């Protein structure tokens, strides 16, 4: 075969292989098709079918916490002081965290029982578990310095959404927070602060029943309302001190939140 014919044959084989790999399996059709005319014909309309959504199955592994919540609510209602509430929480066995992550007693609160501001964090860590008080580790020490700088160090009571350390210092689950919620609400009712400072996303979501992240919630005022509707308080979400230790550049945002809270608190204190 002449060299020119051999080159042409190889070129043809290469071109055919290219189209074959691209999915082309026929070079010509038996009859010509007018693609323009075909594209102008509307496809037949299929009869509409009513789609019925299937009921969502119950999620496996989700515990039934209704009995524990009811028991917590009944016990919390009987507490007539923070001291008695702390004793009640310590004796409560309905939250699984008590038997999973905690090494010592329940961690309930520290600070002034008549404070105008209640700081609510997520849950105790290792240091808090050992000492029996919330926010006493590195994050708590940072929180104390920030509160002092804002003039709030003697004007707060500090607590958490759960009262036992989650295993490995993980974020408490919504179920664990829901079980402890009646105790937290009773603490708010007994203290009757003028406003709430919610430290961290888990706290803000649980207390305010919001799904947004903390970077969206922080710095904005919300209204917290008790389950019976008898108490309404302004609530301000802010960044958790543990987050600030990991992201020091975010401290200016938390500091801005504290100044916002202090300004509103002082405004209420000034005579009309």
Q: What is the mean pLDDT of residues 170-191?
A: 97
Phi, psi of 44 (to 5 degrees): -60, 140
pTM of the entire predicted model: 0.76
In sequence order, what are the beta bridge partners of 224?
Answer: 233
Sign for the CA dihedral angle at 241, 69, 92, 232 comes to: positive
**Would you state the pLDDT for residue 95?**
96
156: closest CA among 199, 200, 106, 204?
199
Q: Of 6-10, 43-47, 141-145, where does mean pLDDT reach its minimum?
A: 43-47
Residue 221 has pLDDT above 80, yes or no: yes
Q: How confident is the model at residue 31 (pLDDT cuts 50, 70, 90)?
A: low
H helix intervals, the chain: 3-21, 35-39, 66-78, 82-91, 97-100, 126-131, 138-149, 174-191, 201-208, 214-217, 241-246, 251-269
Best CATH choice for the domain 66-269 from the list 3.40.470.10, 3.30.930.10, 3.30.70.360, 3.30.1280.10: 3.40.470.10
According to DSSP, the β-strands at 156-160 and 110-111 are: antiparallel
Q: How confident is the model at residue 17 (pLDDT cuts 50, 70, 90)?
A: low
Rounded distance between C-alpha atoms, residue 121 and residue 245, angstroms? 15
Share of the chain above pLDDT 90, in %: 72
Q: What is the pLDDT of residues 148-157, one digit of tens each?
A: 999 999 999 9
Q: How confident is the model at residue 63 (pLDDT cuts 50, 70, 90)?
A: confident
Rounded distance between C-alpha atoms, residue 177 and residue 202, angstroms? 9
Contact by Cβ (8 Å): 191, 115: yes
């Amino acid at each position: 075969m002449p060299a020119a014919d051999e080159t042409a044959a190889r070129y043809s084989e290469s071109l055919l292989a290219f189209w074959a790999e691209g999915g082309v399996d026929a070079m010509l059709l038996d009859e010509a098709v007018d693609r323009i005319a075909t594209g102008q014909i509307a496809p037949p309309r299929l009869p509409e079918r009513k789609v019925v959504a299937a009921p969502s199955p119950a999620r496996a592994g989700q515990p039934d916490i209704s009995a524990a919540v009811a028991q917590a609510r009944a016990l919390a209602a009987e507490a007539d002081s923070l001291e008695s509430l702390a004793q009640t929480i310590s004796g409560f066995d309905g939250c699984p965290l008590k038997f999973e992550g905690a090494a010592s007693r329940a961690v309930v609160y520290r600070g002034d029982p008549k404070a105008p501001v209640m700081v609510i964090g997520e849950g105790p860590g290792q240091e808090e578990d050992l000492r029996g008080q919330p926010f006493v580790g590195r994050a708590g020490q940072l929180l104390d310095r920030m509160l002092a700088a804002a003039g709030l160090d003697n004007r707060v009571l500090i607590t958490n959404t759960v009262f036992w350390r989650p295993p490995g210092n993980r974020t408490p689950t919504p179920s664990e927070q829901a079980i402890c919620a009646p105790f937290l609400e009773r603490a708010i009712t007994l203290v009757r602060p003028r406003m709430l400072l919610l430290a961290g996303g888990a706290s803000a979501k649980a207390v305010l029943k919001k799904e947004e992240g903390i970077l969206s919630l922080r710095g904005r005022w919300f209204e917290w309302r008790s389950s019976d509707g008898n108490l309404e308080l302004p609530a301000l979400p802010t960044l958790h001190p543990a987050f600030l230790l990991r992201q020091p550049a975010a401290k200016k945002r938390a500091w801005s939140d504290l100044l916002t809270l202090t300004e509103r608190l002082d405004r209420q204190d000034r005579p009309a």
